Amino acid sequence: MFSGPHGGSSSRNVIPALTAGAVRTVFRPLRPTGLQLRVIRAAADSVGAVRNPRGARVEPVRIGSMTGTWVSATGNGSRTLTGAVLYLHGGGFVLGSSRSHFGLVKRLSAASGMPVLVPDYRLAPEAGFPVALDDALAAYRCLIAEGYSPDRIRLAGDSAGGYLVAALLAELRRQQLPVPAGALLMSPLLDLDIARAERTRDPVIPLAFGNECISAFLGETAASDPRVDVLAADKRGWPPVLIQVGSTECLLPEAKAMADSLTAAGVPCELQIWPGQVHVFQVMARVLPVARIALTQGGAFLRTTVGTAQSSIVERDARPGRNIA
């Protein structure tokens, strides 16, 4: 069991609320198509671009037909075969890249003590399902080809990337391939059945925009397709999973459903519910202490997981020493 977060609460809710309002205002009138999508993509990459990679080594790579980036903030910046994290970025399947997520990935590398590979998987609507999943599998195979044994590989992802992590684990089991040592899901989008999903208003992302992103990703593929429906997937044999989700997110019910499904399958799982936090609050680690705490705990999980953790649901409290089960 990880220790609870510490620190005052003055910024714990104010900063996420202000950020959420700004993001929601920007996204409300937009649609994930055409010129608007190109502008959103460029803006996301620009905001996250590597301007000062102090403390990190950044190495562009080719992963088959994909580009990608190694980010190492492990002290000496070097890569060894002792362990690596495969990070699948969020962005609603339609935007995001290794550039947009540099800051988050750098902190995760430092927290885990491992280099992180971020593939630029192909995006919707240009590439619908299962292209992004196939790209994720190709990146995983690439790590193994480089000499990383599966038990030295960890998976991590946020939002839509969290979905791809779960889908990749299901695909590995479906193909009877070796699974990694563990997986970290941050604010994962897990239910692509728009009609079924128990979602109400989210403080960050307008639901109409999110639903359009899901539709663009699925294309002609049904949400009930066995390769799509990760909540219904057979989870026997999955590695330990840590799920971090904010208490204000519309994705909280499906995070709970995933945790229940994993526990029922005998998979070690911890669900951390962070009070007052919004979708992927970890990206605010530069200004939000609780986000840094969450990343520290996520990194510790990735660094130490060996398949012996016990399943639990924990509601995190920002007051010193508080864990509310």
Task: Read off the pLDDT of residues 139-169 as tens digits, 9 standing for 90 and up.
Answer: 999 999 999 999 999 999 999 999 999 999 9
pLDDT at 279 over 60: yes
**Residue 91 is encoded by which pair of tokens?**
């962005």
How many whole angstroms separate alpha carbon 228 and alpha carbon 140? 19
Strands 323-324 and 312-316 come out as antiparallel
Angle, helices 102-112 vs 289-304, to 10°: value is 50
> Where residue 286 sits, what CATH number does that domain have?
3.40.50.1820
Q: What is the pLDDT of residue 283?
A: 92
> What is the span of the domain harbouring residue 261?
10-49+57-324
* Nearest residue to 155 via CA among 114, 122, 120, 100: 114
Residue 199 lies in a domain: yes
pLDDT on residue 312: 59
Report whether 103 contacts 286 (CB < 8 A). yes
d(CA 83, CA 155): 11
Q: pTM surpassing 0.85?
A: yes
What is the C-alpha to C-alpha distance for residues 145 and 64, in angstroms, rounded to an integer? 12
- In the chain, pLDDT over 90 holds for what percent of residues? 69
CA 267, 297, 86, 140: dihedral to nearest 10 degrees?
-20
- pLDDT (tens digit per residue) in 213-268: 999 999 999 999 999 999 999 999 999 999 999 999 999 999 999 999 999 999 99
d(CA 148, CA 178): 12
In the prediction, which pLDDT does 141 show?
Answer: 98
Confidence of residue 52 (pLDDT cuts 50, 70, 90): low
Peptide bond into 29 cis (omega under 30): no
What is the reported pLDDT for 218?
Answer: 98
DSSP H or E segment with residue 312: strand 312-316
Which pLDDT score is estimated for 109? 96
In a domain, 205, yes or no: yes
Residue partners of 231: CB distance under 8 A and separation at least 6: 190, 191, 254, 257, 258, 261
Average pLDDT along the chain: 86
User: Stretch 37-64: mean pLDDT, rounded?
Assistant: 83
**pLDDT of 190 over the 70 cut:** yes
- Specify if 1 maps to a domain: no
CB neighbour list of residue 318: distance below 8 Å, 6 or more residues apart: 5, 6, 7, 8, 9, 12, 275, 276, 290
Kindly state the DSSP code that residue 62 receives in the 8-state scheme.
E
Per residue in 245-258, pLDDT (tens digit) is 999 999 999 999 99
Helix, strand, or coil here: 95?
coil
- The letter for the amino acid at 201 is R
Residue type for 95, please? Answer: L
Assess whether pLDDT exceeds 70 at residue 20.
no
Which tokens sit at 75?
A: 């002290």
Tens digits of residue pLDDT in 296-307: 999 999 999 864
The confidence score (pLDDT) of residue 93 equals 98
pLDDT(1) > 50: no
CA distance 40 to 42: 5
Q: What is the average per-residue pLDDT within 26-32?
A: 60
**In the prediction, which pLDDT does 5 show?**
45
Structure tokens, 70: 């190694």
By residue count, the chain amounts to 325
217 CB contacts (<8 Å, ≥6 apart)? 92, 93, 94, 124, 125, 128, 129, 132, 160, 192
Look at 36 and 82; give whichever has higher pLDDT: 36
pLDDT at residue 320 in the model: 34
Q: What is the mean pLDDT of residues 165-190?
A: 98
Q: Is 215 a catalytic residue?
A: no
Q: Look at residue 32 in the predicted model and tell me its pLDDT.
A: 74
pLDDT of residue 204: 83
Q: How many domains does the chain have?
A: 1
Q: How far apart are CA 325 and CA 309, in angstroms?
A: 16
Q: Which of 159, 187, 261, 311 is catalytic?
A: 159
How much is the pLDDT for 6?
38
